[in-house]
Every structure is written in C-alpha cells, then in structure tokens.
C-alpha cells in the first residue's frame, strides 16, 4: 500500500479521502487555494501546500503547480476526487509520466469515455444499448436534419465533451434545429474548448439510473448495484438513493451486466460509474461513463458496507479485489441530499457568504460529509456545495423520514441553503410513491410557492409600498400628505400633557 498520497481536490471530498487514508495508515497531503486556508480538509491532512491563488484556474486546475508539489512532498500517488482534474486525461498522463500513481483509470480510458460520441461508438460495438441518434459529431445541417427525421422529434443536441447540461438543447421541430445546433456549439466551445455536438432521441418520462463499477488490474470487473439519480434540476443531481424503487431483480441483472460490459469495452480499471436512462417502457440506454468517484458514492457504501475510496487505493496499489462477484443484495435503504448554498425560490441562484453558524445533525442512521465549518466562507469561485447529508434505514420509507428529521435538525446561519426545498421534495407524494422522472422538479411548481403566511406578509408590504408611492406623488403634485400614524401618536401625547 502507498505511504503518502496527495489529494488533488478540496472541500468535503478531500476530507473524505483523507479520512480513509488515515484509517489505512497512509499520510495525506492537501493542496489549497488562498480562500481555503481555514478549510477543515487543510488542517486534517498530515501535510498541506499552498497553490497561491484564488480562482480554479490559478489553483485546483493548475497541473504544473500540482505536479511540482507532488515532487516536493514526495508522494507516491495522487487521488483526484471528482470535478476539477479528475476526468482530465492529460493530467492522468502527466502524473503517470512523473513516476507517480494516478488513483483512477488510465489516461486512454478517460479520454475515450470523456468523448461522448467516441463512447457511444464503442458501446454500440460492444452491444450495449444506446439512445438512438448519431454515432459521431454533427458535420452538417443536412446530416442533422436527416438524423432528426429518422429518429423523430423531439431530439436533444448534446456536447460531445463535458456534461452538466452545458451545450444541451431540446429541439421539438425542424424549424428549431439550425438555431439550436449553433447555440449548443457555442456553449460547448466556451465550456469545454470543444464545440462538437451530436444528436440523441429525447426520451419521454426518463429515469436516471447509474451503476457503480469496480475493476482491478487482474481483469476482474464487478458492479456494486445501482443508484437512483432522477431528482435533478438543470441536469444536476439533487437527491440520490440506493437501491432504486424502479428496478426489480430481472432489470437490475440486465443493467448490471450491461454496465460491466461497458466498462470492459474500454479496458477500465478502478472505480467508475456507468449511467443509464430508462424510458417509460422500462427500456434502458447507455448515457455516459464517469471515470472517477461519484459525488453520490456514500449511498452505495451505506447499503453495501464497503469503503469505495479504500478499494480505489488498493486497486491502484496493484492489489486484487477482495470481492469475487457483483453485489446482488443490499442492506436496507440509503438517501443522499446535496445541501447547496443556493436560493431555490430565486431559480437556485448562488448564495455566497460567511457561515456564521453550522451544526449538522446526527443520531441513528445519519452520515454527513462536509468540507466547511463555522467561520468558513462559501465563495463564488467554487461549487456552492455545503455538505452531503446521508440517511440509512431498514426501509425506504424509514430512510425518508429519518432524512426529513435530520434536515430539520440542521442548523445553518449566514447564507441561504436548499434545506427547506429538500424537505418539500421528500414530503411530496410522487417522491414517496417513487413515481417521478428527471422532470420532477420542473413539473412540480408547488415546490417553489411561498407559504400562506409569507404570502400575506409580502402582499401587505406591497400594499404599504404602493400607498406610500401614491402619497409621495400627491405631495409632489402639491396635495397635502395624509397624516401618518406616528403623527396621531404625537398629537395624542401632546394632548395628554
């Protein structure tokens, strides 16, 4: 096993990786930006080195700085976490060429699966179901039009590189096709430095299901079951759970086998995730592969009893996996809520600022993965995630109730958060019954309505404001201003004297 590992990330994932390193007797090395000097992960790690900068480009995306620190600190391996450089093939290659182990797949696998058109082509060759569409990037409007007519509208225009909804457009008819392609290309080029886009059939009422993969250097590939990731806003996951209420034993077996086949098709080693879309008729299709640890990996750990980061470290060190077959039985049910510094009632706008007070919940079946504490600042420079709250219980209904209890106990002051919104989702009838799709949040506008008391206060405030404006205009026009309540109080007191 390694003696010293550098964690090329920040926040909750850096702290989570460092904790497993400590349990294994591995020294952890943190890197940090100027804004993260007081962050918990910096002080938890055995060593910490400054990246001297504030922005992501100056710090966590600066490969030269990170590799230089790797050499100075004498680490044997680098764990990239997720985000930043985790799926950057060039970074993996540079680390490996420096004589340091990259804890993840090969640069070749990252590059192949990072390009969605190349990945689609490889999956088709391997016999993995893919959503109908183009096998390569769009090269002309004519080809795009022919494809759209062949598979039928509505369709999706999607970026060949990257994800997170950037470079994605829904097209409902031929008149929207040209402008949508051009807009998607511009956005993809700006976000990923690659303007290539491709076409996929738009699936109605889809569910987003992913399978956790583990593969070692001995040639063994298994899966650890599925995660339900359909509760999303703007193509970003909000709530995840394992197992999924949608899958039965037969569908789970079919999707699990397809996930393994997909990983083997690209020679994958280490932990990764195969993502699928499942349509309203329970047909499933390959969506993409995330060649890294997932944000939502804790729910899999809770229902399997495994430490996926520990497995990553062991596989990267050249060890054979201890598991001989895929996980088919799960221990209870687990739900994860991503708590962001955002205002859901203002279109999920970021709510940066200083955390005046934070006291996460605890109690039976609750786990919290966080990277902040009281006095830390949520900055616009980075992802606004505050923490991930995870519940476990013997049944799904109990896991939901336990999560609601924990969210209500969560103490947070100084910034807006998504906690009240998450409670509304968990209490919604469709969520409780498991009858939701990836469109759930945009369909359920009641999640964003003010409660009655807040509505009354807002209406009263508006009435007072407009009355004041009316009086102001009358005064400006020469009319006498009506007496205010304060004036009447003063007169009464004067008379009493």
CB atoms within 10 A of CB 152: 10
Q: Which tokens go with 396?
A: 């799904």
Please check whether residue 360 is in contact with residue 389, taking contact to mean a CB–CB distance below 8 angstroms.
yes
Phi and psi for 338 in degrees, rounded to 5?
A: -90, 120
Would you say the C-alpha torsion 230, 234, 236, 237 has a positive or negative sign? negative
415 vs 427: CA distance, rounded Å? 24
- CA proximity to 323, closest of 334, 333, 311: 311
213 vs 273: CA distance, rounded Å? 6
205 vs 407: CA distance, rounded Å? 29
DSSP state letters, 274-326: EEEEE-TTS-EEEEEEE-S--TTHHHHHHHH---HHHHHHHHHTTPPPS--S-
Residue 447 gets which letter from DSSP? G
Cα separation values, 246 from 205, 290, 300, 329, 378, Å = 13, 22, 16, 16, 36
Report long-range pairs for 463-469 (Cβ below 8 Å, ≥24 apart): none
Looking at 292, 338, 396, 402, which residue is catalytic? 292
Pairing outcome for strands 270-278 and 207-215: antiparallel
- CA proximity to 92, closest of 221, 62, 100: 100
Please check whether residue 214 is in contact with residue 321, taking contact to mean a CB–CB distance below 8 angstroms.
yes
Catalytic: 292?
Answer: yes
13 vs 387: CA distance, rounded Å? 10
In sequence order, which residues have a C-beta less than 8 Å from that of residue 434 and are 6 or more positions away? 245, 246, 396
In sequence order, which residues have a C-beta less than 8 Å from that of residue 262 and are 6 or more positions away? 123, 126, 128, 274, 286, 289
Q: Which residues are catalytic?
A: 292
């Amino acid at each position: 096993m390694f003696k010293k590992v550098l964690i090329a990330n920040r926040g909750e994932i850096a702290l989570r990786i460092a904790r497993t390193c400590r349990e294994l007797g591995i020294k952890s090395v943190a890197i940090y930006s100027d804004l993260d000097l007081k962050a918990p992960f910096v002080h938890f790690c055995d060593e910490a080195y400054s990246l001297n900068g504030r922005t992501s480009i100056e710090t966590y995306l600066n490969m030269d700085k990170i590799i230089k620190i790797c050499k100075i600190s004498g680490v044997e391996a680098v764990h990239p976490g997720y985000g930043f450089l985790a799926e950057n093939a060039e970074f993996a290659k540079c680390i490996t060429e420096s004589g340091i182990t990259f804890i993840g797949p090969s640069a070749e696998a990252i590059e192949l699966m990072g390009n969605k058109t190349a990945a689609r082509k490889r999956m088709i060759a391997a016999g993995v179901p893919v959503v109908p569409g183009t096998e390569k990037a769009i090269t002309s409007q004519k080809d795009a039009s022919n494809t759209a007519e062949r598979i039928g509208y509505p369709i999706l225009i999607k970026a060949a590189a990257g994800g997170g909804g950037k470079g994605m457009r829904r097209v409902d008819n031929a008149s929207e096709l040209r402008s949508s392609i051009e807009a998607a290309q511009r956005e993809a080029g700006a976000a990923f430095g690659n303007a290539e886009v491709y076409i996929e059939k738009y699936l109605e009422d889809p569910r987003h299901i992913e399978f956790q993969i583990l593969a070692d250097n001995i040639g063994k590939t298994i899966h650890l079951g599925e995660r339900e990731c359909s509760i999303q806003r703007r193509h970003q996951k909000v709530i995840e759970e394992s197992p999924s209420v949608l899958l039965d034993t037969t569908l789970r077996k079919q999707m699990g086998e397809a996930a393994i086949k997909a990983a083997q098709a690209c020679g994958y080693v280490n932990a990764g995730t195969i993502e699928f879309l499942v349509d309203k008729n329970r047909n499933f299709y390959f969506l993409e592969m995330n060649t890294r640890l997932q944000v939502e990996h804790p729910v899999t750990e809770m229902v399997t009893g495994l430490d996926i980061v520990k497995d990553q470290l062991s596989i990267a060190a050249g060890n054979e996996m201890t598991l001989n077959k895929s996980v088919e039985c799960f221990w209870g049910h687990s739900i994860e809520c991503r708590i962001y510094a955002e205002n859901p009632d203002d279109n999920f706008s970021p709510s940066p600022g200083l955390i005046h007070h934070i006291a996460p919940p605890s109690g039976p079946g609750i786990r919290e993965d966080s990277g902040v504490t009281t006095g830390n600042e949520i900055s616009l420079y980075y992802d606004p995630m505050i923490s991930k709250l995870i519940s476990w219980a013997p049944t799904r209904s109990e896991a939901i109730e336990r999560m609601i209890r924990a969210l209500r106990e969560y103490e947070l002051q100084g910034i807006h958060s998504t906690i009240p919104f998450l409670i509304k989702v968990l209490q919604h009838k469709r969520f409780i019954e498991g009858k939701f799709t990836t469109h759930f949040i945009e369909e359920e506008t009641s999640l964003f309505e003010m409660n009655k008391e807040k509505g009354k206060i807002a209406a009263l405030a508006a009435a007072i404001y407009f009355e004041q404006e009316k009086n102001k205009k009358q005064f400006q026009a020469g009319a006498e201003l009506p007496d205010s309540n304060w004036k009447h109080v003063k007169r009464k007191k004067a008379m009493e004297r």
